Amino acid sequence: MSASHARRAAVTGIGVVAPNGTSTDAFWKATREGVSVIDPITREGCEGMPLRVAGQVRDFDPPSAIEERYLVQTDRFTHFAMAAADRALEEAGLGRADTDAAPFSVGVVTAAGSGGGEFGQRELQQLWGKGSRFVGPYQSIAWFYAASTGQISIRGGFKGPCGVIAADEAGGLDALAHAARGVRRGTDVIVAGATEAPLAPYSMVCQLGYEELSTVAEPDRAYRPFTSAACGFVPAEGGAMVVVEAEESARDRGAPVRALVAGHAATFTGASRWEESRQGLARAIQGALEEAGCAPEEIDVVFADALGVPEADRAEVLALADALGPHAGRVPVTAPKTGVGRGLAAAAVLDVAAAVLAMEQGVLPPTPNVFDVCHDLDLVTGRARATETRTALVLSRGLMGSNSALVLRRGAADAS
């Protein structure tokens, strides 16, 4: 189809519900300032867990954001998703009147790595503690991975292509790329992203088997990638949704094109085989650059995966060198997720949100809690760095073996 190369996929709105801010402004301010919000887990039922700290969304009041009838039938991860979608659409200037006029032109794509864990645990407790007739009518639609896409579609009246990537961490980027391809295939708007809520007691137990998980109890020492003290990653909840829109659709309605989703590629190198992820990530970067028609030297900033496991960090640094050549030693690299934790598939979507804002503001956010970098890497540490930024590369790897790279171009008026 000839449309596939003619139509470019833009980002026209961002909605964030993150541990460090539940609005785009609050998120960006905290991200830019390098505020770390990782802190002890206070969720009921998590007291005896060997996992002590996480990035928790504290400043979010579901009833003020979501109607009661949707609240009762959904888990926390879907509350985040619905609220983030609302904010993204609002930023994009897309109101109900716009989308109702062409419902098949608006789709929804999410990545989901954990599903409705808190809701599911409650219903499992009803079933096993009391009996099957105590299982409520919403278990069948709240626990499964498709809940957020379905509810956003229904709540907004969006009848376009709807999809769900049930993903490891890299799936956040894959979902945005899936949305961008949907736009290239002809859908005008796709609300896309990921939110996660994996901090209910049983969900936490489910993650304890990951040897990459940090069990350090001091919040500022628990997640320090690219340092000799790297000891794993800290989990998190929250996430972001973005409006991915055909550039021409945005221009037609006078909406600002904030960034372009220019290129993406994904590879697989096996669960926890971090050394092999070097080659997989390098190939993903090369594929994304190729699709974007972008030379390595054009990359102005890299948002790193930054797992915080020594061999994984080393593999990422080497992958950058393999894919970007000498430019890898010069390009600024950042990992703001060290201040909020790593919320499964949502982490990379927050990085995309930060990358779009960084390009708009000409400011690279720092990597909180990380100081003595033990790799040949220009990691942005301490304070934000002001610099003209036109092109960003966002990287993500998953615990189940996926590697993904996404190239974003600044969209602003200077592109037209």
Residue ranges in 243-272 that form contacts with another protein under rule CB under 8 A: 265-271
Q: How many helices (H) and strands (E) does the chain have?
A: 15, 15
Is 114 an interacting residue with respect to another protein (CB under 8 A)? yes
Q: How far is the CB of 396 from another protein (least distance, A)?
A: 12
Three-class secondary structure of residue 5 per DSSP: helix
φ, ψ of residue 14 in degrees (nearest 5): -130, 135
Question: Taking Cα atoms as reference points, which of 380, 394, 370 lies closest to residue 36?
Answer: 370
Q: Choose between 173 and 377: whose C-beta lies nearer to another protein.
A: 173
Q: Is 163 in the site for another protein (CB under 8 A)?
A: yes
Does position 343 interact with another protein (CB under 8 A)? The reply is no
DSSP-assigned beta bridge partners for residue 260: 10, 409
Query: CA neighbours within 13 Å on the CB side: how many for 348?
Result: 37
Task: State which of residues 79, 181, 224, 385 lies at the interface with another protein (CB under 8 A).
Answer: 181
Among 12, 31, 36, 207, indicate the residue that binds another protein (CB under 8 A): 207
Is residue 108 near another protein by the rule CB under 8 A?
yes
Distances (CA, A) of 53 to 22, 67, 216, 342: 20, 31, 8, 12
Least gap, CB of 189 to another protein (angstroms): 13
Give the one residue of 55, 280, 343, 366 binding another protein; rule: CB under 8 A: 280
Q: What track of x and - describes contact with another protein for positions 44 through 83 (by CB under 8 A)? A: xxxxxxx----------------------x----------
Q: Which stretch binds another protein (CB under 8 A): 8-16, 21-29, 171-179, 323-331?
A: 171-179
Taking the least distance from each CB to another protein, the nearer of 135 and 294 is 135
* 209 near another protein, rule: CB under 8 A: yes
Taking CB under 8 A as the binding criterion, the range among 220-228, 355-363, 370-378, 395-403 that sits at the site for another protein is 395-403
Report the b/e string of 126-140 with b at 16+ CB within 10 A: beeeeeeeeeeebbe
Q: Which window, 52-60, 83-91, 167-175, 348-356, contacts another protein (CB under 8 A)?
A: 167-175
Q: What would the two tokens of residue 106 be?
A: 């608006």
Q: Is residue 235 involved in binding another protein (CB under 8 A)?
A: no
- Minimum CB separation from another protein for residue 227, in Å? 26
Query: Does residue number 162 form part of the binding site for another protein (CB under 8 A)?
Result: yes
Q: How many residues bind another protein (CB under 8 A)?
A: 88
Strand 391-397 with 402-410, pairing? antiparallel
49, with CB counted inside 10 A (0-12, 13-18, 19+), is middle
Nearer to another protein, 156 or 366 (CB): 156
**Among 145, 226, 274, 303, contact with another protein (rule: CB under 8 A):** 145
Report the alpha-carbon distance of residue 171 to residue 162 in Å, rounded: 15
Q: Give the shortest CB-405-to-another protein separation in angstroms.
A: 12
Q: Which is nearer to another protein, 155 or 375 (CB)?
A: 155
Q: Per rule CB under 8 A, is residue 193 in the interface with another protein?
A: no
Question: Of 54, 66, 85, 167, which one interacts with another protein (CB under 8 A)?
Answer: 167
Of 42 and 228, which CB lies nearer to another protein in the complex structure? 42
Q: How far is the CB of 196 from another protein (least distance, A)?
A: 12
Tell me phi and psi for residue 350, to 5 degrees: -65, -35
Helix (H, G, I), strand (E, B) or coil at 354: helix
Minimum CB separation of residue 10 from another protein in Å reads 19
**CA–CA separation, 112 and 82 (whole Å):** 14
Residue span binding another protein (CB under 8 A) among the ranges 82-90, 203-211, 384-392, 408-416: 203-211
The rounded distance, in Å, linking the Cα atoms of 108 and 179 is: 8
How far apart (Å, rounded) are the C-alpha atoms in residues 17 and 89? Answer: 14
Task: Determine contact, residues 175/136, Cβ cutoff 8 Å.
Answer: no
Among 58, 72, 96, 140, the residue binding another protein under the rule CB under 8 A is 140
The helix/strand/coil state of 94 is: coil
Parallel, antiparallel, or unpaired for β 259-268 and 9-17? antiparallel
Pick one of 63, 68, 69, 137: the residue that binds another protein (CB under 8 A): 137
Phi, then psi, of 227 in degrees rounded to 5: -120, 165
Q: Output DSSP code: residue 186.
A: T
170 vs 268: CA distance, rounded Å? 10
Of 13, 34, 116, 156, the residue at the interface with another protein (CB under 8 A) is 156
Of 353-392, which residues contact another protein (CB under 8 A)? Answer: none
DSSP one-letter string for 86-127: HHHHHHHT--HHHHHHSGGGEEEEEEESS-SHHHHHHHHHHH
